[in-house]
Amino acid sequence: MARTEKTRIEKARPQRPGTAGARAGKGPHPPPGAEPARYARPARLLHWVMAVFVVGLIPAGLIMANMDSGPLQDRLFVLHESFGALVLVLALVRLGYRLRHPPPPLPPEVPAWQRRAAGAVHALIYAALIAMPLTGWAGTHAFGAPVTIFWLFDLPAFIGKDEALAGRLFSLHLALGLALGGLVVLHAGAALGHRFLRRDTVLARMWPP
């Protein structure tokens, strides 16, 4: 390889945080032509659509469960249950897609403990994204109410009416919702910390949608 060409390639390598380039405010981002490895477009779109739904569903669920009953609460129930069921479908689509398209490698400077922590948090988030809709769906039918999707059709009941069980399922739904909220704060905080404190390319793997 010609010496000038090698030098050009070396210059094009991403710089680690704390190097002269990063300190000069240029950041460690790869220059044009050396884009960071990103999640594929469908994975990014699914991530951000699910993120918006989940960030809305948690406070909406808390408000809806604690307000006076009436037509407004009924409408909020239908919207909450419909978007919640959509999250279940999207999470399953995302997991199926992930089997065939594994995530791109993390930047080499990310330490092993952070890789393990990120993997554990992602797995727990996926578990909650599946358990939340299932406990909500089962709890609603155990309570004796239908689960109506966008005023179009009802989901089938896989559980009979049992009000004591409904109470337990909704307690679980609440506990999982609070746990999911905590995980998302941790997760988003870590992603933003990578972007604005460490100034590496972790967030650029998932952004833009």
Residues binding ligand HEM (CB under 6 A): 47, 50-51, 54-55, 57-58, 61-62, 65, 77, 80-81, 84-85, 87, 98, 103, 106, 118, 122, 125-126, 129, 132-133, 136-137, 140, 147, 170, 173-174, 177, 180, 184, 187-188, 191-192, 202-203, 205-206
For 87-144, give the DSSP string: HHHHHHHHHHHHHHSPPPPPPTTS-HHHHHHHHHHHHHHHHHHHHHHHHHHHHHHHHT
Provide, rounded to whole angstroms, the least separation between the CB of residue 10 and ligand HEM: 27
Provide, rounded to whole angstroms, the least separation between the CB of residue 172 and ligand HEM: 10
Instruction: Give whichever of 21 and 134 is closer to ligand HEM, judged by the CB atom.
Output: 134
Provide, rounded to whole angstroms, the least separation between the CB of residue 165 and ligand HEM: 13
Please name which of 51, 26, 47 lies closest in space to residue 38, comparing C-alpha atoms: 47
Instruction: Give whichever of 12 and 93 is closer to ligand HEM, judged by the CB atom.
Output: 93
Instruction: Give whichever of 2 and 196 is closer to ligand HEM, judged by the CB atom.
Output: 196
Instruction: Give whichever of 31 and 42 is closer to ligand HEM, judged by the CB atom.
Output: 42
Provide, rounded to whole angstroms, the least separation between the CB of residue 49 and ligand HEM: 9
Provide, rounded to whole angstroms, the least separation between the CB of residue 58 and ligand HEM: 5
Instruction: Give whichever of 16 and 51 is closer to ligand HEM, judged by the CB atom.
Output: 51
CB 16 within 8 A of CB 28: yes
Amino acid sitting at position 96: G
